A and B are shown apart, each in its own frame.
Chain A
Amino acid sequence: MNNAVTKERLAEILDRAIQDVTEQTAGVRLNQNNQSPGEDICTVHITFDKGFSTSLTLCADTSLLYRMARNSFHEDEVPPEDLEEFAKEYFNVLCGKIAGAMFQTTQVAAHFGQPMFCRGRYEPEGQEIQFVLTYSDENSASAQLIHHVPCSHTDGTVSEQS
């Protein structure tokens, strides 16, 4: 059985998952484009600790995350601690969707730990960017979903962890 997923197939899985989960969880429609987030950004990051040697990072305009959190909590104002909680839960669900789709494709059950949240940009150590998907909402607020692989991994596939 081939447990590797091509970069192109993985990008399709990520794209489908982020669009579906964002709309279902927060009622926000994201469209893929080339508009990078601005300077006021937040990052959520998850490392897959079983199944695949890979990690995912969402780097988004803070205004976009606040909008999504307000929609999800049905509140006009969301305090910063609830923004963090929202971002972690949203990203946890998103990564679960991605891992579920990967399982359908490879029969490899990937596991991941608690999401990490920070203000600003975060670059995981020992990993390099394999590809970036960039999105914006109808208010032109942006987000990037970044797929990282270990620095030595260069063949363009994501393989089962040995």
Chain B
Amino acid sequence: MSKRVMVVDDSRLVRVQMEDVLAGTDYQIVAHCRSGEDAIKQYGEVQPDLVTMDIIMQGMDGLDAAEIILKNNPDAKIVMISSLAYGDTFERAKAIGAKGFVDKPFHQEQLLKVFGQALQ
């Protein structure tokens, strides 16, 4: 059975890229949230196996949204997908319990590896 993925990113481009990369794999995009606030609201309804979370978004950023989702749902599997994969951003993502970090622009091999590790 395919794994259900919720994509949180304010860019439609990222959704298109994610659909390209996940086509023909065991992962299926079941929701696309365009803000941190939307992700918090939708997480309980969607109950995805995995969340991909952008960091820089309008309104609440992805790190704050991930922290709130994980506080309410400690078993949530969240992978940060951002161009800010270094330094204090990377450290904070680890500290709040994100299961992985993927650098933009992402590749299929890299994404599937991190997804697999996050779901173990």
Give the interface of A toward B (CB within 8 A): 21, 24-25, 72-74, 82, 85-86, 88-90, 92-93, 95-97, 99-100, 103-104, 108-109, 111, 113-114
Contact = CB atoms under 8 A, between A and B. Distances in A.
Nearest to B104: A93
A103 B103 CA distance: 14
B11 interface: yes
B88 interface: yes
Interface residues of B, number: 20
Contact of B104 (A72, A88, A96): A96
**Secondary structure of the B side of the interface?**
mixed
B82 interface: yes
Nearest to A103: B86
Contact of A72 (B16, B82, B87): B16
Given A99-B84, A100-B83, A103-B86, A114 B56 contact: yes
B13 A72 contact: yes
Closest 5 CB pairs of A and B: A96-B83, A109-B87, A89-B11, A103-B86, A24-B105
A92 B81 CA distance: 13
B108 interface: no
B14 interface: yes
